[in-house]
């Protein structure tokens, strides 16, 4: 099985000479010397590469939206602000093979004729920062960055920018605002960043995994890329599993492996004494899937058909001894805290759901709370909020209400968490069914 993305991952990562020795920077040489920018874009488009950040949009298509005839700077940004709970795939690539990312970035930048490129890195990835900084310096020394790259006349400057720890910056427009030194609030689309991005200039923001794949597509072609996959979505994918499984970890596998293979084979199945309840297939902001979905193929369409999203492809497994209410509360706490505070539903709605879940988990829930939670999952849906943060936050909640409703009801009925609390939190005689009028 080919593992182009991860086969050369080492700790510490390859230095530039070692990287070149295994064929590194050949894609840069090929692209900038022998290909027109539009041909690079066309090749990536032909490969049907879909963005690995979670949305699954065609990478080549995205590049093709950049207006090539406008004067002034253009930018390429690698979104390395990996903060989705349970997701650690980019970290592997960043710490283990930074030159692969840089090479992909240079090729992508060339395709859109960007003048400057940025790696926007999660602040907590300290080792990655060291690795990337070193790799950038090496690439400058080797002439892959800077003025007149490989004597072709194409120039590119690259910078590492470490964020300050806001989940919001994973959203590409908030990332751009943050990179400009503004508050990390998202922007309305349209206009899309491809047209008006960083400092109002055409900008492409791609995920680390996406960019890391670019050199291989350049070197080996679109057909090869497609052949790596078991489904229509080409390539390999880094899948991850965390939770109470025997061997939590991340693996580069053909796109479209089944969930069963992943959890039972690669992750070794559930730990001794734990049963499987469900899984968030693509990070914290995706809908739960349950045992009946075990045989779906893990590609963008397959997971969507099951009612969730492939997202980052890194799953969080819920076992049968963890309270689903507490589990979801933990997630909503995270999302409420990471809301940027720009739009009302997210800023006010998420803390409300968090408080409702906490009340239920503490045995202080009320019957009507479930209705309120359900309504929030509808009200905070796509289009109602300014960006995708709150709709994403509602995905685990809405599916938990669907698949684990009994658990919620039992909390409320028994005024306690059946997983943690032997005693009810409040005497059953207290009448709770009143609302506050204005």
Partner 1 sequence: MTIYIDNKPYEVKPGSNLLEAVLQQGMNLPYFCWHPALGSVGACRQCAVKVFKDEDDKTGRLVMGCMEPVKDNLRLSVEDPGAKAFREQVIGWLMTNHPHDCAVCDEGGSCHLQDMTVMTGHTCRHYRFSKRTYENQDLGPFLNHEMNRCIQCYRCVRFYKDYAGGKDLNVFAAHNHVYFGRCENGTLESEFSGNLAEVCPTGVFTDKTLKSHYTRKWDMTWAPSVCQGCSLGCNTSAGERYGSLRQIANRYNGEVNGYFLCDRGRYGYEFVNSDQRILQPAIRPHSNGTVNKAHIVDQVAQRVKNGRTIGIGSPRASLESNFALKLLVGEDNFFLGVSGSDQDHASLALKILREGPARTPSLQEAGEADAVLILGEDLTNTAPMLALAVRQAVRRKPEADAMGQIHLSDWQDAAVREAVQDKHGPLFIFHTVPTKLDELAEDVRRGAPEHLARLGFAVAKALGADIDPVTHLSAEENALAEKIAASLMAAERPLIIGGYGSGCDHMMKAAANVAWALQQKGHNPMLSLTLPEVNSLGLEMLGGHRLDTAIDVLRQGEADTVIVLENDLYRRADAHLIDEIFLHAQDVILIDHLYNRTAEKATVLLPAGTFAEADGTVVNNEGRAQRFYQVFVPKGDVQESWRWCLQIAEKAQVRSLNGMHNLDDIDWAITTAMPSLAQLQHLAPHADFRINGQRIPREPHRYSGRTAMLANENVSELKPAEDVDTPLSFTMEGYRGEPPSPLIPFFWSPGWNSVQSVNKYQQEIGGHLHGGDPGIRLLEPHLNGGPKYFHEVPDTFVPVPGHVHIMPLYHIFGSEELSMYTHGIAKNAADYCCLYLNPDDIARWNITPGDWVTVEMDHHTCRLVATPNHWMPHGLAGVTAGMPHSPVVDLPVLAKMRVSD
Nearest to partner 1 of 150, 195 (CB atom): 195
Does residue number 340 form part of the binding site for partner 1 (CB under 8 A)?
yes
CB neighbours of 432 closer than 8 A, spacing ≥ 6? 366
CB neighbours of 14 closer than 8 A, spacing ≥ 6? 8, 22, 24, 97, 99
CA distance 91 to 160: 15
Window contacting partner 1 (CB under 8 A); options: 141-149, 232-240, 343-351, 411-419: 343-351
Q: Are 66 and 112 in contact (CB under 8 A)?
A: yes
Q: How far is the CB of 131 from partner 1 (least distance, A)?
A: 29
Q: How far is the CB of 288 from partner 1 (least distance, A)?
A: 25
Does residue number 92 form part of the binding site for partner 1 (CB under 8 A)?
no
At 127 the three-state DSSP class reads helix
**Residues numbered 161-220 forming contacts with partner 1, rule: CB under 8 A:** 166, 168, 183, 187-188, 190-191, 195-196, 199-200
**How many residues bind partner 1, per CB under 8 A?**
41
Q: Is 167 exposed, middle or buried (0-12, 13-18, 19+ CB in 10 A)?
A: buried
Is cis: bond before 288, omega within 30 of 0?
A: no
β-bridge mates for residue 361, sequence order: none
CA distance 13 to 280: 31
Does residue number 23 form part of the binding site for partner 1 (CB under 8 A)?
no
Q: Are 176 and 48 in contact (CB under 8 A)?
A: no
Does residue number 345 form part of the binding site for partner 1 (CB under 8 A)?
yes
Does residue number 330 form part of the binding site for partner 1 (CB under 8 A)?
no
Nearest to partner 1 of 149, 380 (CB atom): 380
CA distance 316 to 305: 19
Does residue number 426 form part of the binding site for partner 1 (CB under 8 A)?
no
Nearest to partner 1 of 192, 419 (CB atom): 192
Is cis: bond before 191, omega within 30 of 0?
A: yes
Does residue number 431 form part of the binding site for partner 1 (CB under 8 A)?
no
* Total Cβ atoms within 10 A of residue 389: 25
Nearest to partner 1 of 43, 184 (CB atom): 184
Q: Rule CB under 8 A: choose which of 151, 181, 273, 383 binds partner 1.
A: 383
Nearest to partner 1 of 22, 372 (CB atom): 372
Does residue number 113 form part of the binding site for partner 1 (CB under 8 A)?
no
Does residue number 293 form part of the binding site for partner 1 (CB under 8 A)?
no
Does residue number 150 form part of the binding site for partner 1 (CB under 8 A)?
no
Q: Is 103 exposed, middle or buried (0-12, 13-18, 19+ CB in 10 A)?
A: buried
Window contacting partner 1 (CB under 8 A); options: 127-135, 204-212, 337-345, 401-409: 337-345
Does residue number 372 form part of the binding site for partner 1 (CB under 8 A)?
yes
Interface map 222-261 toward partner 1 (x if CB under 8 A): ----------------------------------------
β-bridge mates for residue 252, sequence order: 238
Residue 9 CA to its chain's centroid (Å): 20
Does residue number 337 form part of the binding site for partner 1 (CB under 8 A)?
yes
Nearest to partner 1 of 301, 359 (CB atom): 359
Q: Are 361 and 411 in contact (CB under 8 A)?
A: yes
CA distance 194 to 204: 6
Q: Are 53 and 135 in contact (CB under 8 A)?
A: no
Q: Rule CB under 8 A: choose which of 344, 406, 424, 428 binds partner 1.
A: 344
Kindly list the residues in this chain that would bind partner 1 in the complex (CB under 8 A).
Answer: 70, 166, 168, 183, 187-188, 190-191, 195-196, 199-200, 336-345, 347-352, 355, 359, 372, 375, 379, 383-386, 435-438
């Amino acid at each position: 099985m080919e593992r182009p993305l991860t086969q050369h991952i080492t700790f510490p990562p390859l230095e530039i000479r070692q990287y070149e020795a295994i064929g590194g920077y050949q894609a840069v040489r090929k692209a900038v010397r022998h290909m027109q920018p539009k041909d690079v874009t066309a090749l990536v488009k032909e490969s049907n590469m879909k963005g690995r950040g979670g949305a699954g949009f065609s990478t080549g298509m995205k590049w093709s939206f950049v207006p090539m005839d406008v004067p002034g700077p253009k930018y390429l940004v690698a979104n390395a602000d990996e903060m989705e709970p349970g997701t650690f795939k980019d970290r592997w690539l960043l710490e283990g093979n930074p030159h692969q990312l840089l090479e992909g970035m240079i090729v992508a930048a060339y395709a859109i004729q960007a003048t400057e490129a940025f790696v926007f890195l999660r602040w907590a990835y300290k080792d990655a920062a060291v690795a990337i900084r070193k790799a950038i310096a090496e690439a400058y020394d080797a002439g892959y960055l800077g003025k007149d790259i490989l004597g072709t006349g194409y120039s590119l400057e690259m910078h590492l920018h470490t964020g300050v720890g806001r989940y919001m910056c994973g959203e590409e427009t908030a990332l751009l605002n943050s990179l400009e030194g503004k508050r990390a609030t998202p922007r309305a689309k349209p206009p899309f960043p491809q047209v008006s991005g960083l400092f109002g200039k055409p900008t492409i923001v791609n995920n680390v995994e996406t960019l890391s794949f670019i050199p291989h597509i350049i070197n080996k072609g679109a057909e090869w890329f497609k052949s790596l996959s078991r489904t229509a979505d080409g390539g390999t994918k880094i899948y991850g599993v965390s939770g109470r499984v025997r061997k939590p970890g991340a693996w580069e596998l053909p796109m479209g492996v089944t969930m069963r293979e992943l959890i039972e084979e690669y992750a070794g199945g559930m730990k001794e004494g734990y049963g499987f309840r469900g899984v968030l297939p693509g990070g914290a902001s995706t809908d739960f899937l349950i045992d009946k979905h075990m045989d779906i193929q893990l590609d963008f369409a397959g997971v969507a058909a099951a009612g969730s999203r492939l997202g980052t492809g890194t799953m969080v497994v819920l076992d049968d001894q963890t309270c689903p209410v507490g589990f979801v509360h933990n997630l909503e706490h995270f999302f409420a805290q990471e809301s940027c505070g720009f739009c009302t539903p997210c800023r006010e709605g998420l803390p409300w759901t968090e408080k409702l879940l906490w009340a239920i988990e503490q045995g202080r829930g009320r019957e009507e709370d479930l209705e309120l939670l359900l309504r929030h999952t509808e009200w905070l849906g796509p289009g109602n909020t300014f960006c995708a943060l709150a709709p994403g936050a509602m995905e685990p909640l809405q599916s938990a209400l669907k698949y684990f409703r009994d658990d919620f009801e039992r909390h409320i009925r028994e005024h306690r968490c059946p997983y943690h609390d032997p005693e009810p939190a409040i005497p059953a005689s207290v009448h709770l069914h009143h609302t506050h009028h204005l």
